[in-house]
Structure 1
Amino acid sequence: MTIAGSDSGGGAGIQADMRTFALLGLHACVAVTAVTVQNTLGVTGIAPIPPETVAAQMRSVVPDIGVGAVKTGMLASAPIIEAIADTCDELDIGGGRGVALVVDPVCASMHGDPLLADDALDTLVRRMIPLADVVTPNLDEVRLITGIDVVDAATQRDAARAVRDLGARWALVKGGHLRSSELSPDLLFDGDQFISLDLPRVDTPHDHGAGDTLAAALCGALAHGYEVPDAVDFAKAWVTKGLQSAYPLGAGHGPVNPLWRLG
């Protein structure tokens, strides 16, 4: 299941998640948190879904269909986050319980357009990160969450420790925005061991939906029974191939392309 916003341009959000789930041989269930008005140039409007409706989508699907793993993306507002966290508790999602939860702490679009209300960041940190089996911030998000500006391997480790200290079982600090290397260095931490995942950086302007796609692939791998380190390794390889086959679309940034799987 993906709990996230809808992207009218089809490049990110639930659209990106559903493509990845389908190509991993999984049926995608959704709880829509917001409808965005966006294209390849940016976000020009957001219509949040009522919190009770977001929770009702979860309560409708999980007991009937069942879910193997859940991911969150754009959560829009503090009341929506509170409703999702309460419903996760009710349905035994995340928190080390039966259904794994991947929290992608989406705060802004790749263009810098805000996707989280100003007063919602504290709620995201306080309610969702402690439920996360894996939390997947990029460098901008980790700076907002922890106050740490990641500029090298040492500060990336500091950030991973800080995120893990907020209650997540595993912290994945993504290094794709760290432009000082020819590699894209991601760092996974469970409180005891650091696992580095370095792959060559893909030189493309068409990277819309990369974070969503990685988190969805991670969620899908967990649903297939992968352990967290193997699931993260799989997701990293998946999004890299998606970036390698990304395509131009519109006048701005084209999307990551999980359709590489179809050849």
Structure 2
Amino acid sequence: MRVPHARVLLALALVSLDAGGARAQPAGPPPATPEAPAVPQPSPDPTNFEGIWQPDFVMPLVNAGEGTSGALATVDRKPLPYNDRGATIFQHRMRMEQAGTPIANSVSQYLPAIPVYQLDLFLGQMGVVQDRKNVVILFEDGSNWLIHLDRGHPAALAPSYKGDSVGHFEGATLVVDSIGFNTKTWLDSVGSPHTAKLHLTTRISKIEGGRRLEFLTTYEDPDLYTAPFTVRRTASYRPDGQLLESEIENLRSENNANLICEDN
């Protein structure tokens, strides 16, 4: 009777030794941590603007006396240099707004805007694609800014909402010349006017190590302004950005019931 009992004790001892040996084995290396995907970087080429960019907010000018906010902010932070005619048109639009009968501009009717003005609307991100012939800036509302690099302005240019833009590089700066605008658009959200003589020169450059685009636009319209003026805008690189669909609230009839259209 003692022999089977001894065998049981021996078996238990062997099991215990095996378990202890297993516990004594050195631990294996931990599983490898998967590498994070590389974050896209803007092109190191200073003349390559391709990628997704987010227009940066620029504090608009506020004129407490006229009750306005949203006028273009010039680089010297001064009011726009309207002449008498330009001031009369602007003040009429402001009075109509304050009376609750705002005048409809192209944006409120979901019609095209002057392309550089798109940077002030903050309608999401924008994408830039380019080749040797064109630079195209795509906005999330479906509009675009087409800049021709391979031609000048057509001799017979029909006025349009977006005008005609041609560009060339001066070093790392893209210089864009834009003319041919109709008079159905505004320069800003508060009603700064322009005529068909509007001439824009925009200098686009990479700054801050290529992670920001700078747009310096000089406005000239001798029929409504006493002197040219320059507006600075920027846009920040968004490595994981993508262009999304947008729904424009202004398309809804209840948002446009009190708008008044000007004759242009």
Whichever structure has more strand as a proportion of its residues is 2
Please identify which structure carries the higher helix content: 1
Structure with the larger RCO, 1 or 2 (CA within 8 Å, 6+ apart): 2
TM over 0.5: no
Q: Look at both structures and tell me which one has the larger radius of gyration over its CA atoms.
A: 2
TM-score by length of 2: 0.30
